[in-house]
Amino acid sequence: MSAAIGQAELAALQRRSVWLLSAGQVLGGFAVGATLSLGALLAADISGSDAWSGMAATMSTLGAAIAAIPLARIAVRHGRRVALGGGALVSALGASLTIVAATVRSFPLLLLALALLGTGVAVGLQARFAATDLASDRTRGRDLSIVVWATTIGAVIGPNLLEPGDAVGRVLGLVPLTGPFLFGIAAQVLAALVYLFALRPDPLLTARALGATSDAGSRPEQTAAVSRARERFAITAVALSHATMVAVMSMTPVHLLHHGASLTIIGLTISLHVAGMFALSPVFGILADRLGRLPVILLGQSLFVAALVTIAMGAESAPAVSVGLVLLGLGWSASTVAGSALITESTEPIRRPRVQGISDTLMSLSGAVGGALAGPILAFVGFDGLAVAATALVAVVVVGTIVVSRRPAAPVPASG
């Protein structure tokens, strides 16, 4: 089969896969953006207490963490198409159960539904890795980052359709706040159709058929040890970068509200942060391909430092906090894109889907832990103290980057 597909055909197949994965990301991001934002309101309404509103984000994050490894195992056995398509359908089921839970006013059922809805987040994370299955070393970061960038479209459009969705729900006789979940169901079903029927041939199975795994395990022991060290570092860097971002971002609305900011200012700040997370990801992908993964991870940590210093020094100023949140998003983007590319190229092809699933699980769990610890830290030392505390996570990644950079890079068999 290797002889049957030339480099030009392989490059064309990779481009097609990236654009199809991006289309799925737009739909998936739209579904999550249009529905998860209502989870906290439903949780507070059905439980009867605002204290339970945070469980919406917690359950969706845990759902993403739990789904990551099973989706990776499905990808190993049946390919990316089945894993991504099946995950999108599970997320659609979660959106459906959310409507049911709101109708019968069952809080436990709502929590289960939100966890299933979180599977859509896991699908989005795995889709970025699917973009690397057939990528060359020269374009791996760029291809991965394009799929990450596609999330921007759905994430921006989705929340703006909450009122139209609620209007549709009222016409259909649904209970308040559940109409937008119909849009989520439709978007995830469409994403599943893209993955299951359009993503052909399957990028992971194609890479395997082209002999990507034929030389797995053939590297010298010393070379394999260096690659494993880089793999472990990359997983850690992605997880800690995500924890840093979530810890500060999740407390920003609370801090701004307590300091008199309007909901408009709070919404604008979070929107700018989301733009920072995704809008420039292709730039960081190209930089990671040209400069290397480790320099771009260091760039991401430098942006984190700039963000945290800005927030610590300007915690009482909404404009300063907004600038800090944009820098925080940019730091997350650079670190996640470069770190994800490093995970892929440091791992033998036969192990990649499983290791990628472990990375996504740890990434989601670290976000959940970061968000959970941020509240008590904010209460004890304030928003500026939270920013200072978050620099400890940045320091760990910076030290790890320096240590790993002193070891020579070990070549890993390419996917194509």
What does the pLDDT look like over 282-326, one tens digit per residue? Answer: 999 999 999 999 999 999 999 999 999 999 999 888 899 999 999
Confidence of residue 54 (pLDDT cuts 50, 70, 90): low
Q: What is the pLDDT of residues 144-198, one digit of tens each?
A: 999 989 887 876 676 667 778 888 888 999 998 888 889 889 999 999 999 999 9
Residue range 77-100, pLDDT digits in tens:
999 999 999 999 999 999 999 999
Angstrom distance (rounded) from CA 281 to CA 288: 10
**219-416: what CATH class?**
mainly alpha
pTM of the full structure: 0.82
Tell me the pLDDT band of 213, cut-offs 50, 70 and 90: very low
* pLDDT higher than 90, residue 357: yes
Give the pLDDT confidence score for residue 50 in this predicted structure. Answer: 61
Range from 63-72, 110-119, 177-186 carrying the lowest mean pLDDT: 177-186
Q: What pLDDT, on a 0 to 100 scale, did the predictor assign at position 37? A: 61
CATH of 1-210, one of 1.25.40.80, 1.20.1250.20, 3.40.50.880, 1.20.1440.230: 1.20.1250.20
**CATH 1.20.1250.20 residue spans of the chain:** 1-210, 219-416
242: pLDDT confidence band, cut at 50, 70 and 90? very high
Chain centroid to Cα 60, Å, comes to: 12
Give the integer Cα–Cα distance in Å for 176 and 114. Answer: 17
Residue 34's pLDDT is 60
